[in-house]
Each structure stands twice: as C-alpha cells, then as structure tokens.
C-alpha cells in the first residue's frame, strides 16, 4: 500500500532562464566532490590491441592446412620447379610442398609457435620468380583460469596476487577489467601495482555493495594468444536490524557507508528548499565521481542515480513501513514530465520490483515559489519480510549533468509502523555568515567601514517530525553562540528570547518554524566590538556561529537507529575574514553564462586604500570543452553603477576539479601581472565573454542574494541591473593586498601522489602526520584550507594538526617539500 500524504504543487525551474536575452542560468555539468586520497594509477597498463589476422594464418594444434600457393612464375621457362624454405625445419608441425600446394599439419602439443615459410618457383634456366612468404601460427585456444577467491569488506582496499606469466614467449601486453556483470556495485577500483616485468599483482578497493565481484586480468602474446585469469571477490555485507533511519544531516558529500550500498547521490545542505532536516540526498544526472553520466544513446529517460539500502533483517517481523520526504527541483533544475523518481524493493526471487513511481513536472509551472517536501509511506507486503531485504531509490533522466533534481530526506523503515512521523525536532538550515552583505572581507576593511557589516540576516529554521507537539527544554537553553577557534565566547543568546529570535516554546507536528535573528540583538554588537578591537595581523580571523537545539527530555526518540538524527540538533558555520571579498557561501547551485561581448560585474567597496592582486573565480565543471578561448577578467570604477574600465587581463581557463590547490569547492585563482591599486570607494569586478561557441559558465550561489544595485551587465547598450525571478551571488572574489598565492593554471611544483600519510581520517580533532618514503618532517610545509578556500593554518615540520576548534566538515590539507606537493581531503567529524 502506498499513501501520498500531501497534494502536489506547481513546479518550474531555471533549466534555461533568460535575462534580457544576454544571460542564461544553466545547471552545473557536475560537481567538485572530494574523493579519497590517491588510490594509485595503473602501472604500465597496456591494453592489448586487436591483432591483424591477415598477416598470418592461424591453426589450432592438431589441425591441418592445404593451400594452393600459386607463386610468381611469370616469364619463367618450363618446366617449373617449386621450393619451400623453412618447411624442413618447421617447429609447429610438418610442412610439405607438393608442386605449388602447401600441406601443413600442426603438432598436437603446441602452445604457440610461428613458422615462416618461403615458397618460390624457378625455371629450367635457373631464373626464379618472386618469393611468397607464408606465416603460420600454431596456437592453442585461450584459457580462463580461476584464481583463489578473495574477501573484502565494503570500501576496503586489498592487494591481490596476480597470475604468473607462463607463456613460453612471455606476454606482450596485459589488461585488467571488471568481469562480474551481475554484481550491482559500481564504485570498485582496481589497478596493477607493479610493471609488467615485475608482476601482475593488483590492488582492489571494494564497492559498498554486498555480493560477489570479479576482476579479470588478460595476458596476451604478440600473436594474440590470450589467457584470462579471473579473481572473485566476496564483499561481506551483513544485514542490519530495524529501525533503519537516515536524515542525511551529517556534513559529508556521500551517503553513510554503514547504511547505504552505493554512493551515487550527493549529500548536501544547499540544493533543497525548506527540508524537514538539514541535509538531503540529491538525485540528478551526475555520477559519483562528480562527472556527468554518459549520454544514453536515445532521448528516452534512463536510470541515473541509485541509493540502495544495506541488507535488512526483516524475517520475524509482523509488518513494516518505509517512509520518506521528497522534493523535486529545490534550488536546482526541474525534472520534466518524462523524468521520474522510483522506489524499488528486492524480491526474494532476486529482482528489484518498482513499488512507487513519481512523475516529473510541467514546464509551465513557476519557479518563484518553493515546492514542499511531500511525505510518502509504503507498507511492505509479507513477501518482503525476509533476511536480506533491500530497498532502493532511483531517478530517471534523459539529460546529463546536475539536472532533473529530486531531493530525498528523512528515510525511515520501521516495524509495524504506518506513520510518517518520528519523535524528532530538527534544525533545517545552517547558520549564515555573521557578516553582511559580504560573507568575507579583510579585517582592516571591516574596521574602517562606516557601515555596520555585522549581519542581522541569520535565520533559524526548526521542523517537528513527530505526530504531536514538541517543546524545548526548560532546563537547557537552545542557543546561538559565536565562538573563536580557541572557544572564547564572543556572543551568546537564547533562541527563545524575543530579542534574539523569539523561537516558540512548542512546535506543532509536521510544521516548519522559521525565525530571523533580531537585528537589535546585543550579540551582534558584541561581535562588532570584538572584531573592531582586534589588532591587525596577517592571520585570518575566524568566527564559528552555532545553533544548538535542546528539545525537552524524552521528546526525541532514543532507541537504537534514531540516535543518528541527534546530529540535526547542532549546526555550525565558519565566518572567515581573510584577504578576499565574497558574497557567496562557497557552493554553486548553477552557472551564469553570457553572450559574446557581454560584460557582467559585481560591486564591492574598498573601505581603505589597498591593492587588487587578482580574482578568484568558481568555474564549475561543464558538459563541453571551452576550447582555446581565454577568460577575460575586468575591473571597473564607478559608484552607484559601473563607469569606466580600468583594468582587464586574459587568462587560460582552468576548471580545477582535479587541481584543488585553492579550495574543495574548486575556485580558480587568477593573479594579475601587476597588482592594481585600489582607492577607497566602490569598484566592480567581473568578466567579459569573448568569441566562442561555448560560453564560460561562472558559479552562481543561489543561497545568497546580494542587494539590488550589486550586479550589472552591459551588452553594448548601457549598464543594466542583473535582475530576474532567480537570484544569487556571482562567485567572483577580489583578492587583496595581503593575499599570498599564485595563478592556478601555472603550477610551480610537481603534483605528487602523496608526500604524507594522514590519520585518523575522518578525525574528531587531532590529525597525525607521517611522511612517506625517506622524507623528513622538517622539510614539509603544511597549509590547511577551509571548504571555501580560506587558509586556516600554516605550519612547517609538525607531526600533527589540531582541528578541534573547527566545525565538522571537509577541509583541504596541502603539503609541499619545495619541489613537489600533494593534497589531502580531511573530514572533521
């Protein structure tokens, strides 16, 4: 039985929203999603190419061949005699020439032998015609050899002994590939460890999916004799008990490996609108490596992302129900009518069966109104109450990239439960920056500003997932706290106080309550006073803003399986005052593209004289190559609106998905040839689209929207404000005088696989550093960056870093010995 609990509402999105016909807001082509540290690359992996079989004649052992040769006898005087050079010494069999007919019988015990036979006709006067060369290869059939079965845990990396090269002539080439078409795991990785001359051993990293995978190594000779060596790997995935609950509130990019068997979907806090709890699983047409799926070959929708549960112990249950919340589009791209979202159950007979399908939306629906998360409830039939039961979600799309989006939240499978509700009170959004309207600027500019740059725009959202009202604790306050990295409290407020947010004491069932931060809250003045009182140094200033929700005792479920939802009771955001200015929060939900000759700018204010050293730009992954065009960055003077072009420079376009020098969100740093002096006052930075068939897409952060008069464009007929039904921040960051960096496109060091080992990772605070090989600690310089690209720590010759003062999330550690560098993605739990 399937119950749909809320009515469907209108849907429309910006797949191609036109602004004055000079702009389009496009979905992302993919994501810059952190993966694990380097897993290695195939070592001398030589894929065997097809053999030109016209160059020789192939015989199996024991087979015979009789062929009329007809060698060249033109202008020869008769009678003609025929001779065979090599027939008497043939190694692969017996060769006999009867006049102009070659008879060859292959030996029965041959592995592979090549005989070269030369047949020639000669006249009675001793003149001979052209030689005819015949190559006969006697070759047994290729074999498939089963090697010992291996065992691995989900996600585990193991080293596997490969086959020995037993060919008499030795293998000419080798290849390695997956050879278990029925295994459903999609994220396994494998590669040769050594060169072919050393061994055929390989490393294998298991996918999360339980079952039996297989890797096949093929060794081939120069004449195409290929033996295949098959290694099965059993991935052990024990069944979990009920309840099964996930609200995706963990600050990670991929699903929790203990609950889910694949990693296709994107776990994020930015694409959904008004979710039941912070964090959702987003389904689209981007694969787990962050790149768009390959086109399906037709316009018919195909399955893109899967989210498959771990096996579950359902035997002995009297009944169970699966519930979840689902939203199409959000701040992303709308799924059209032909697209769909499906729920499937694994039947005991071994096939997945669809139990629910949700269709896409009409293109005529407006995009200005958020679509609600609709709850769904599916009762399990008795057939599915067995040990090993699995359910999965999937989306179908006919497009590529971050398109046709569905956002999934609060998945629950519980016994004898026909209710969508759960005893939980959840925060729905992370705190915003304590600055405003900017999200970052240098401290010296903050202190010199006449305006108050501390933002009252922070909002707290709370959703009650239970079937009754939930009250906040009377003994423990629900708070907003602003902290320094060393845990000094700058501001503290009770969220229930009217002068803070006036959050109510009681929250109705299945209802979201949003409250803005009161602009008169004294904590904002405390933050302003604290920042104004700091001495100016070269180090960035970091403030940690936290929401803490304290439901009344017993209001939230404490049974096993539900404890994970407690993560939605505390959220944190870093505000960093460093050597750049920004309006964005570091995440791009779309890109903005220009027509040829159009200039787009974003307004900034220099509160003191400074210099502009460059611009940091988010250029998300696209579906097509930008070719050999360059990115023209421009700087304009002006006041209320842009006036005069005062600087421009062209740069090579770098999409830094794999060059994460600056940040985990993939900003590209462009340093000007000459630092440009900034006078106190307004300046504008932006870009001009040059001539190209593929426009450059610049990141567009839809979660932050600068005030009117901040963004401008000009396509030759004067300056106009960038405005429309869709708003956001252009991800352009002016880099000011104290910035120490270099252009991303001109690396000055060689990128190494790994200069250090870091552990534990994820870490709950302390990160240990261990050099690899013969490297010495005192030769290594370390820099720790936030997810938005800000430098948090810099040290030389240390064996550990303290991350306890930073909130949970993703960080980038860059290490260099002066000649090489390596990068490591760090997860702070």
Q: How far apart are CA 613 and CA 740, in angstroms?
A: 9
> 3-class DSSP state for residue 54?
helix
CA angle (364 as vertex; 30, 369 as ends), nearest 5: 75
In order of 17, 25, 379, 804, the CA distances from 20 in angstroms are 10, 12, 50, 49
Q: How far apart are CA 201 and CA 124, in angstroms?
A: 62
Six token digits for residue 114:
């090549």
- Dihedrals φ, ψ of 332, to 5°? -100, -145
Six token digits for residue 320:
């169970």
> 3-class DSSP state for residue 778?
helix
Q: Which of 242, 235, 208 is nearest to 312 (CA)?
A: 242
Six token digits for residue 202:
């390989």
Q: How far apart are CA 38 and CA 621, in angstroms?
A: 21
Render pLDDT for 469-478 as a digit per residue (tens, 0 to 9): 999 998 889 9
Q: Are strands 711-714 and 720-721 parallel, antiparallel or unpaired?
A: antiparallel
Q: DSSP string of 240-251?
A: BPSPEEE---SS
Q: Give the residues of the chain that fall short of pLDDT 50.
A: 1, 3-20, 35-45, 658-664, 746-749
Q: Are 119 and 134 in contact (CB under 8 A)?
A: yes
In this prediction, residue 657 carries a pLDDT of: 59
Longest dimension (CA), the chain: 120
Q: How far apart are CA 314 and CA 148, in angstroms?
A: 33
Render pLDDT for 192-201 as a digit per residue (tens, 0 to 9): 998 888 999 9
In this prediction, residue 33 carries a pLDDT of: 57
The stretches of 46-156 forming alpha helices (DSSP H) are none
762 upstream amide cis, omega within 30 of 0 = yes
Q: Which of 18, 15, 23 is nearest to 285 (CA)?
A: 15
> Residue 729: left if φ>0, alpha if ψ -120 to 50, beta else—which one?
beta
Domains of the chain (ranges, CATH numbers)? 61-139 (2.60.40), 253-420 (2.60.120.260), 443-577 (2.60.40), 592-736 (2.60.120), 750-828 (2.60.40.10)
- Across 30-56, b (16+ Cβ under 10 Å) vs e yields bbbbbbebeebebbeeeebeebeeeeb
> 3-class DSSP state for residue 529?
helix
Sorted by sequence, the CB contacts under 8 Å of residue 533 that are 6+ apart come out as: none
How do the residues of the chain divide into helix, strand and coil, expressed in percent and rounded to 5? 5, 45, 55
Q: How far apart are CA 819 and CA 717, in angstroms?
A: 50
In this prediction, residue 818 carries a pLDDT of: 76
Q: How far apart are CA 326 and CA 372, in angstroms?
A: 8
Q: How far apart are CA 578 and CA 815, in angstroms?
A: 21
Sorted by sequence, the CB contacts under 8 Å of residue 194 that are 6+ apart come out as: 43, 200, 201
Q: Which of 270, 290, 295 is nearest to 280 (CA)?
A: 270
């Amino acid at each position: 039985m399937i119950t749909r609990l809320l009515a469907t509402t209108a849907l429309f999105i910006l797949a191609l929203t036109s602004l004055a016909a000079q702009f389009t807001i496009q979905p992302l082509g993919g994501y810059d999603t952190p993966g694990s540290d380097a897993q290695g690359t195939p070592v001398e992996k030589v894929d065997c190419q097809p053999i030109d079989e016209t160059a020789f004649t192939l015989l199996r052992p024991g087979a015979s061949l009789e062929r009329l040769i007809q060698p060249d006898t033109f202008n020869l005087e008769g009678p003609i005699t025929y001779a065979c050079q090599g027939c008497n010494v043939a190694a692969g069999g017996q060769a006999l020439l009867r006049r102009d007919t070659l008879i060859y019988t292959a030996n029965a015990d041959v592995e592979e032998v090549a005989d070269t036979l030369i047949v020639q006709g000669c006249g009675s006067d001793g003149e001979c015609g052209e030689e005819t060369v015949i190559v006969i290869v006697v070759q047994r059939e290729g074999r498939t050899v089963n090697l010992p079965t291996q065992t691995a845990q989900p996600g585990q990396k193991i080293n596997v002994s490969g086959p020995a090269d037993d060919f008499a002539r030795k293998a000419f080439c080798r290849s390695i590939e997956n050879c278990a078409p029925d295994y459903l795991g999609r994220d396994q990785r494998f590669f040769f460890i050594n060169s072919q001359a050393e061994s055929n051993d390989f490393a294998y990293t298991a996918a999360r999916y339980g079952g039996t995978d297989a890797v096949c190594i093929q060794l081939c000779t120069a004449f195409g004799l290929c033996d295949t060596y098959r290694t099965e790997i059993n991935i052990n995935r024990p069944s979990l008990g009920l309840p099964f609950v996930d609200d995706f509130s963990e600050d990670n990019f991929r699903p929790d490996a203990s609950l889910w068997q694949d990693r296709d979907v994107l776990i994020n806090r930015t694409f959904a609108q008004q979710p039941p709890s912070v964090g959702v699983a987003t389904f689209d047409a981007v694969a787990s490596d962050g790149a768009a799926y390959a086109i399906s070959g037709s316009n018919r929708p195909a399955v893109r992302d899967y989210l498959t549960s771990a096996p579950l112990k359902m035997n002995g249950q009297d009944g169970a129900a699966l519930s979840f919340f689902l939203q199409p589009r959000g701040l992303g791209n709308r799924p059209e009518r032909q697209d769909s979202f499906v729920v499937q159950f694994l039947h005991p007979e071994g096939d997945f069966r669809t139990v629910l399908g949700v269709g896409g939306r009409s293109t005529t629906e407006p995009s200005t109104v958020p679509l609600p998360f609709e709850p769904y409830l599916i009762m399990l039939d008795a057939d599915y109450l067995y040990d090993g039961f699995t359910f999965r979600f999937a989306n179908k799309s006919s497009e590529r990239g971050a398109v046709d989006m569905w956002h999934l939240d609060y998945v629950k499978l519980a016994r004898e439960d026909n209710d969508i509700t759960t005893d939980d009170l959840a925060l729905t959004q992370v705190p915003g920056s304590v600055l405003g309207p900017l999200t970052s600027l240098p401290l010296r500019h903050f202190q010199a500003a006449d305006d108050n740059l501390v933002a009252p725009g922070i909002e707290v959202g709370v959703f009650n997932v239970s079937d009754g009202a939930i009250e906040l604790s009377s003994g423990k306050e629900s708070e907003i706290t602003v902290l320094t990295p060393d845990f000094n409290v700058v501001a503290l407020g009770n969220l229930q106080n009217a002068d803070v947010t006036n959050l109510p004491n009681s929250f109705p069932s299945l209802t979201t309550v949003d409250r803005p931060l009161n602009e008169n809250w004294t904590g904002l003045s405390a933050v302003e006073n604290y920042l104004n009182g700091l001495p100016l140094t070269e180090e960035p200033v970091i403030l940690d803003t936290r929401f803490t929700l304290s439901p009344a005792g017993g209001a939230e479920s404490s049974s096993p399986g539900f404890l994970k939802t407690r993560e939605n009771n505390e959220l944190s955001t870093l505000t960093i005052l460093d050597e750049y200015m920004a309006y964005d929060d570091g995440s791009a939900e779309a890109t903005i593209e220009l027509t040829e000759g159009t200039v787009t700018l974003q307004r900034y204010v220099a509160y003191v004289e400074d210099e502009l050293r460059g611009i940091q730009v988010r250029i998300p992954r696209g579906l097509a190559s930008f070719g050999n065009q360059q990115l023209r960055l421009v700087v304009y003077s002006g006041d209320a609106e842009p006036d005069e072009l005062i600087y421009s420079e062209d740069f090579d376009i770098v999409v830094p998905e794999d060059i994460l020098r600056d940040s985990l969100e993939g900003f590209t740093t462009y340093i000007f040839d000459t630092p440009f002096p900034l006078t106190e006052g307004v300046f504008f930075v932006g870009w001009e689209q040059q001539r190209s068939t593929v426009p450059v897409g610049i990141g567009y952060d839809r979660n932050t929207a600068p005030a009117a008069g901040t963004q401008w464009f000009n396509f030759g007929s004067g300056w106009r404000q960038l405005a429309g039904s869709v708003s956001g921040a252009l991800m352009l960051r002016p880099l000011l005088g104290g910035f120490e960096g270099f252009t991303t496109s001109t690396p000055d060091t060689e990128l190494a696989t790994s200069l250090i080992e870091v552990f534990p990772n994820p870490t709950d605070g302390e990160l240990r550093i261990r050099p690899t090989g013969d490297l010495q600690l005192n030769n290594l310089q370390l820099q720790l960056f936030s997810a938005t690209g800000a430098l948090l720590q810099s040290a030389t010759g240390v064996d550990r870093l303290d991350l306890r003062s930073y909130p949970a999330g993703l960080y980038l550690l860059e290490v260099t010995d002066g000649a090489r560098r390596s990068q490591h993605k760090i997860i702070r739990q």
